[in-house]
Structures are given as C-alpha cells and as structure tokens.
A and B are shown apart, each in its own frame.
Chain A
Amino acid sequence: MPLGGVIFLAVFIALFGALLIVLARAAGGGLKTGTGVKFDPYECGIPGQEKRDTKISVKFYLTAILFILFDIEIIFMYPWAITFRDFIFSGQGLVVGIAMLVFLLIFIFGLFWEIKSKALEWD
C-alpha cells in the first residue's frame, strides 16, 4: 500500500527537519545581539520603506490562470496517450486519433490566440 509509505515518509521528513531546526537553534544559542534595525527586512543600504504587500504585476495572475487552463488540457491527453496504441491494434485508431487531433487543434488555436492577444508579453 503506497499511501501508507507516502504518509510515513512525509511525517518522517517533517520531524527530521523540525529536529534539525531546533538543534540549530540550540547550538547557535538563539540570538546573540540585537538592536531594532537588525530585524528589519533586508534592504540594500537604505531604510526599508515598502511593506510586504508591495504591488505585484498582474501578469503573474494571468500566467497562473493560463497555466491551469493548459495544464488541464495536457492532463487530458495522458489517458489518451496511454490507450492510443491499444485502439490502433483494435482497429479504432483513426477515430480516436481524429478526436484527439480536433482537441489539439482547439489547444493550438487557444495558444495562438493567447500569443496574438499579447497575454504572454512581459515588459
């Protein structure tokens, strides 16, 4: 049963990592010195100004949405790929192949449209 192994390993690694961090904390002796400035977020020589919620390009969200669309389409190809040869041997290869070709044409059209509408341009 692989699931038991996966859970066991995940828990083991988490415990191992947590142990190492605790160990490093104990060996490093925690904090040695500290004035207020030391704990400021890293900045290159000037006082830090922006908070964490700094403005982020909307392109990242767009990329993520497009990724989900395309990734689902690609995952859809996997079951087809695995059975394609069996369908060829049983004489139904043409039907299954053309069905996937139509799907791929939609995929290609989507990609082409996305490039055309400049959704993938970074400036």
Chain B
Amino acid sequence: MGQDIFEIVVNGLKLIVIFLLMVQAVPILVWVERRGSAFIQNRLGPNRVGPLGLLQLLADAVKFLTKEDMLPNQAVRFLFYAAPVTALIPGVIAYCAIPLGTPISIEAFEMFGRSWGPYVFPMQGFDIGVGIVFVLGVSSLAAYTILMAGWGSGNKFSLMGALRASAQMISYELALGLSIVGIIMLYGTFNLTEMINAQQGALTYSAFGHQLAIPALPNWGLFYQPLGFILFFAATFAEANRLPFDLAEGEAELVAGFHTEYGGFKMLMFFIGEYAHMMIACGLVVTFFFGGYLVPYMTPEQVQSWVATWASSPNAVSAWTSVIHLLSYFVKFAFFMWFFIWVRWTLPRFRYDQLMDLGWKTMLPWALANTILTALVVYFAHTIK
C-alpha cells in the first residue's frame, strides 16, 4: 500500500472514503430511482419527508434499523448472516480499481522533524496493472453471495431465485467478457488508466497509412467499438440483475428471489451490493467507451496549464486538476446511472428462456462477430498502405 507510514495511512483512508461514498450514494440513487419512476409514470413519488422527499431515505434507514431481526426455521445460520455482508465486498473492491481522476502529486515537505518524500496518489482505490481482468473477476464473485443467500435461507423460492440469478450472471459473463476483446485489441493494454489516456484529444482514425481527424468529436472508444458498447452495456444490465433482466427477483413467480427471507438491514445490504454493481457497470462503460475521467476536447496537460494560471502552489494545481477530472467523470457516470433507472421503468421483464436465448444465441455470436471484425480491420488497416 505504500513505502512509509504517511503513504500507507493516506491510501487506507482513500479506500475507506471510496467505500463510504458508495454506501452514501445508495440513498441518493434510491431517491432518484423513486422520484424518476414517479415522473415517468406520471405520479409524484415520495415528497413528504423533507424538501422534495430527500429525507425519505433517512427515515427508511431508521425504520430498517428498528426492524425485528429473525432467523427462519430451516435457515443455515452462518450463511444467512454472512451473505448480506459478503454481498458488499466484491462490488466495492471491483469499483476501487476504476480510476476516478488524474493522480494527485504532493511535493516533499517537513513534518515532525523529518522530511517526507514527494508522493503521487492515484485517484483510485488501488492501481492494478491488469485492471480489466481484476474488475471482471472480482465482480463476478457476486454469484457466490447470491447462492449463499439462496441456500442459507432454507426456502425454495430463495433457492430458485439464487439459481436463476447465478445462471443468468454466468451466461451474460460470456458476452460481457467477449465484447471487450475488441477494445483490448485496439488499446493493447489491460490497465484502465492507460486505456483512458489513449482516448485523449479529437477523434482520429489512422488506417491504410492515412489519418482521418474529426475534430468535432472526442477520441472515445465508442466511435471505434459501437457494437462492443451496445453488447457490453446490455450485458451489464444482466450482471447487475436489473430490469429488463431481473428474472432473479421476478416477483410474480418467485416472491422476491434470493432475498425472500431477508428484511431490515440485511436486505439493505443486498441493495447496496446491487447498486455497487450498477456503479461498476457505469464506471467501466465510461472508462472503456467514453474517455473515463477525461474532459472532452482537452488533454490533462491542457487542463493543468489552465489551472496553473490561477492556482497558487504546485500541490494546489495538481489537486484542482484532479478535482476537475473527477467532476468530468461523475457527470458521465451520473448519466449512465440515470440510464439504468430510465431503462428499468421503460422496458418490461423478459421471460427466462428468452433471457437465456438472448445471452447465448444472440449476444455471444454478435460479440464473436465483433471480435473477428475488429481483428480483421486492425490487421488490414495496419498492413495495407
């Protein structure tokens, strides 16, 4: 985590802050979801508690806390209690590997009678070289927590829901994994930061020994891999168990799926886990296809030189540059979070066989076609002059 005690403490605090931010974002997202759904359905939604109903979630949290805590008869005690706690872990750890802004560099300074060397703190939980593989691998561990909950509840509805959810998640994992082979091929790296840096500037196609620059558009992955984007984004809906793919919770058939027996705070933790998966999905979509934290049309150096015209110290320049990129990231991120909610209240639920058919017989072949097409284009664009 670092070389000396200062670096270790800052990195540890950074992890905790990102985690608490994710937990804090959930009430806001739930509010957005309820108000958004209300406006889409021409209702008002929660508007009594506090201004615009913003304090509704605080009231809900208190209610969750005071709920009676019960263990059903046939439940496996350890699994029943462990599942909601572990449901948080994969989502948060995977999200921490996504870069949120340019690194903050701090110059050497004196404190407690000794000098502390210059530091560079990346704006992400941990900088992992094989970012994509790590994020995909860790986030797919969520299937285990769902199975734990389903088996531990000792209820057939839970078990059926858990099996459906895990079968669905692993089926869409294939399309998800295959749809980004094209983008890996184009950028030639697994590292998310390097991938973002490759998307700087204006859109420039270089092929057949020529360069075609389109200055009106930023150099985003979307314009290289449109099909990959659609497949990846659709597959993330299934990974996050969201409508139209929330067969795991199909309440008409399965009551509530794997969390039928859960209530109160344990239920809330599954909620946080689900929202964490949406956040990973949005973070990855932004990173792969929408330039990550980059400000459109501006490279980080240009932002930095603009900040340097008004910020005083080098530390402040670095920090403000990072904050501007963070804001740029969150604007893109918020749009895709809203997109998730928008889709939820627009499209109806699939039937289970249709869901599996879509994953295996439609998205997997299209992702394969995308891979082959990208490979051919990359090959001929670089060899034919």
Contact = CB atoms under 8 A, between A and B. Distances in A.
Interface of A: 1-2, 4-6, 8-10, 12-14, 16-18, 20-21, 23-25, 27-32, 34, 38-42, 44, 50-52, 54, 56, 59-60, 63-64, 67, 70-71, 74-75, 77-78, 81-86, 88-89, 93-94, 97, 100-101, 104, 107-108, 111, 115, 120-123
A10 B89 contact: yes
In which size bucket is the chain B interface?
Answer: 35 or more
B125 A5 contact: yes
A45 to B, nearest CB: 11
A17 to B, nearest CB: 3
A18 B174 CA distance: 33
A9 B261 contact: no
Contacts of A32: 68
Interface of B: 1-2, 11-12, 15-16, 19, 64-74, 81, 84-86, 88-89, 92-93, 96, 125-128, 133, 151, 153-157, 159-160, 163, 167, 170-171, 173-174, 177-178, 181-182, 184-186, 188-190, 255, 260-261, 264-266, 269, 352-353, 356-357, 360-361, 364-365, 368, 371-372, 375, 378-379, 382-383
Nearest to A50: B156
B73 A40 contact: yes
A115 to B, nearest CB: 6
B174 A84 contact: no
B252 to A, nearest CB: 11
B160 to A, nearest CB: 8
Given A41-B72, A100-B375, A120-B360, A82 B1 contact: no
Contacts of B160: 54, 56
B167 A60 contact: yes
Contacts of B86: 14, 17
A81 B65 contact: no
B185 A108 contact: no
Contacts of A20: 265, 269
Contacts of A94: 379
A15 B102 CA distance: 31
B89 A24 contact: no
B89 A74 contact: no
Contacts, number: 206
Q: Is the interface of B mostly helix, strand, loop or mixed?
A: helix
A88 B1 contact: no
A31 B153 contact: no
B9 to A, nearest CB: 12
Nearest to A115: B361
A85 B382 contact: yes
A107 B368 CA distance: 9
Given A85-B378, A120-B356, A6 B93 contact: yes
A-B pairs, top 4 by smallest CB distance, nearest first, are A17-B85, A24-B265, A122-B353, A41-B155
A88 B156 contact: no
Residue in B133, B157, B159, B265 with the greatest tally of chain A CB atoms within 10 Å: B265
Contacts of A115: 360-361
Contacts of B360: 111, 115, 120
Contacts of A23: 65, 265
A115 B185 CA distance: 28
Nearest to A37: B73
Nearest to B382: A88
A82 B160 CA distance: 39
Contacts of B85: 13-14, 17-18, 21
Given A2-B127, A41-B261, A63-B167, A24 B375 contact: no
B371 A52 contact: no
Contacts of B69: 24-25, 28, 30-31
Nearest to A4: B1
B127 A84 contact: no
Nearest to A89: B382
B378 A5 contact: no
Nearest to A122: B353
6 contacts: A21-B266, A28-B68, A41-B153, A74-B177, A82-B184, A100-B375
Given A52-B159, A81-B185, 6 more contacts: A5-B96, A5-B125, A10-B89, A14-B89, A38-B70, A42-B255
Residue in A12, A34, A52, A85 with the greatest tally of chain B CB atoms within 10 Å: A52
